[in-house]
Chain A
Amino acid sequence: MTGLLSLRNVSKVFTLGQREIRAVDDVSFDVVEGECLAIVGESGSGKSTIANMILGIYPPSMGTIAWRGDVLPARRELRHRRAIQLVQQNPLSSLNPRRSVGASLRLPLDVHGIGDRSHRADRVARLLEEVGLPADFMNRSPAALSGGQRQRVAIARALASESDLVVLDEPTSALDVLVQARVLKLLADLRDKRGLTYVFITHDLSVVRNIADRVAVFEKGCLRELGTTEAIFANPQHAYTRRLIAAVPVVADAEVALRNRLMENDDAAA
């Protein structure tokens, strides 16, 4: 099975003075086109380092990353940057406070020459509408937006370049619980509509259960376990996975039903 993206024996070693930190240790896995692959693991387990290597922020110390079968070089071509995009954890930091929402959304269009110059403002407006925000938000500063609205803008920016793969690095963990649920629903809808592939980094297993097709469990830079969401939850093989699952608060069916009803009610208010 070769996927959209294949990591083969990927390691990343950081050198801090005399110390060497093996942030990612000999990891291999594929991301299949159209799936949502969750990456879980506690803080410091190397999740963001994997994301940065997938995005080409820095190359692996060892191993290779391939896109549709082609091994990606250390210096990425623009078309590969365009295909793989990112949504970060904290939209307060990921959106430039000194640039308007419109300017941030326009950047990928300008960099990749998407659409006519004269039609880019329209495209920005449509992107905003696609993530459930009014088009006139393009003139606002990020500071004038709520946390959830900011994250919607960040999601719109990841879609702007018509990407195929979106890496989501804990995209909801900086948000209020209610806002979290709405942003998750938006992400699920966008995936259906656009046929996106997600690498969804989180340490929230209830999020995993809602959105992921497969789960990769990391601990100390190593891939401990990889399987379908049902399989991992039904029968966790690794002791570390069992501990992770045990740490999740149990949600009763009644609570799930209540939450779904509430979410439908205030979808419009998102």
Chain B
Amino acid sequence: MKRAAYILVRNPLSLTGVILIALVVFGALFADLIAPFPEHRGAVVDFANFNKPPEWPYLFGTDLVGRDLFSRILYAYRISLLLGVVVLAIAVPIGVTIGLVAGYVGGWVEYVLMRITDVFLSIPPLVLAMSMMGLLEPTLTNGMLAVTAMWWPWYTRLVYNLTRSEKEEGYVLAAEVIGASRAHTIFREILPNCVPSIVTKMTLDLGFVILIASSLSFLGLGVQPPTPDLGSMVADGAKYLPDSWWLTVFPGLAILVAVFGFNLLGDALRDILGVDQ
């Protein structure tokens, strides 16, 4: 803990990351309390106040049907974070398990698992997600599915490489000599030594998942209206640049803050957990 505090104080960028993400998470969790117009998350119209530039009480202005952008951004954060957490909650256990097994067991098991992983890795992420979304209904669930499908192989690669080097450590030999099961050696001996790298990558990736999800929504393939989404907000507002600049600038900044914040936080964690890279 002391070490963590020291690293944060000494490195202003790390501290910035912590603060940005704390704000984003706080805003998303307590959107109901913070948002001036919580009902604006849905299909509400208020033509008396449509397309207003930033002015009290509309901190970031209003959209074309008169909804408060600040409120919608808070709710969009909630969806983005949920999306990121769900995607990683599915992708990481799958990717990590495959990487551990391939790296530890070796032989044909390794060959088959890593070739499958390479195939997924060789497809550009957005192309994979878009083709999946083309085949499936463009719903939020399918969006998550598409992003998950392209995310697990990166964890397989990471953990596979870590496992191959951890396997050479004496503690693995020690477990084998004692007669511990493979499951024990993989999940209780090797996995704990991979956790710092995995956690660091997850933090970095939360930002990227949010970015990819926003890109899909931007293309009309992600979260569907009236649910607020940062990507769709940017896309919808882009037609009204530069006059109604607030329609794009604030959602765009919101994406930037989340992605940038998670990146800085990931770097901070890397230092704190002592991950060598």
Number of A-B contacts (CB under 8 A): 62
Query: What are the 4 closest A-B residue pairs judged by CB atoms, nearest first?
Result: A94-B170, A81-B179, A93-B170, A98-B192
Evaluate contact between A85 and B177: CB separation under 8 angstroms. yes
A108, B179: Cα distance in complex, Å = 8
Point out the residue from A82, A97, A112, A157 that lies within 8 Å of B174, measured CB to CB: A157
Q: Output the nearest chain B residue to A142 by Cβ-Cβ distance.
A: B171
A78, B177: Cα distance in complex, Å = 10
Interface size class of B (residues with CB under 8 A): 10 to 19
Q: Which of B170-215 contact A (CB under 8 A)?
A: 170-171, 173-181, 184, 188-189, 192-193, 195
A96, B177: Cα distance in complex, Å = 14
Evaluate contact between B174 and A99: CB separation under 8 angstroms. no
Does B236 make an interface contact (CB < 8 A)?
no
Interfacial chain A residues near B170, Cβ < 8 Å:
88, 90-91, 93-95
Evaluate contact between B171 and A161: CB separation under 8 angstroms. no
Evaluate contact between A81 and B178: CB separation under 8 angstroms. yes
Evaluate contact between B193 and A82: CB separation under 8 angstroms. no
Interface pairs (7), CB distance under 8 Å: A91-B170, A94-B173, A98-B192, A99-B192, A104-B171, A104-B174, A157-B178
A96, B184: Cα distance in complex, Å = 13
Q: Output the nearest chain B residue to A85 by Cβ-Cβ distance.
A: B177
Q: Output the nearest chain B residue to A82 by Cβ-Cβ distance.
A: B179
A95, B173: Cα distance in complex, Å = 10
Evaluate contact between A86 and B189: CB separation under 8 angstroms. no
A50: shortest Cβ distance to chain B, in Å? 14
In the complex with contacts A97-B193, A98-B193, A111-B178 CB distance below 8 A? yes
Evaluate contact between B180 and A107: CB separation under 8 angstroms. yes
Evaluate contact between A96 and B178: CB separation under 8 angstroms. no
Evaluate contact between A57 and B176: CB separation under 8 angstroms. yes
Q: Which of A54-72 contact B (CB under 8 A)?
A: 55, 57
Point out the residue from A86, A95, A98, A112 that lies within 8 Å of B177, measured CB to CB: A86
Evaluate contact between B173 and A88: CB separation under 8 angstroms. yes
Other A-B pairs, 4, CB within 8 Å; known A57-B176, A94-B171, A99-B189: A86-B173, A86-B174, A93-B171, A111-B181
Q: Output the nearest chain A residue to B195 by Cβ-Cβ distance.
A: A98
Evaluate contact between B189 and A108: CB separation under 8 angstroms. no
Interfacial chain A residues near B180, Cβ < 8 Å:
107, 111
In the complex with contacts A96-B193, A97-B193, A99-B192, A108-B178 CB distance below 8 A? yes
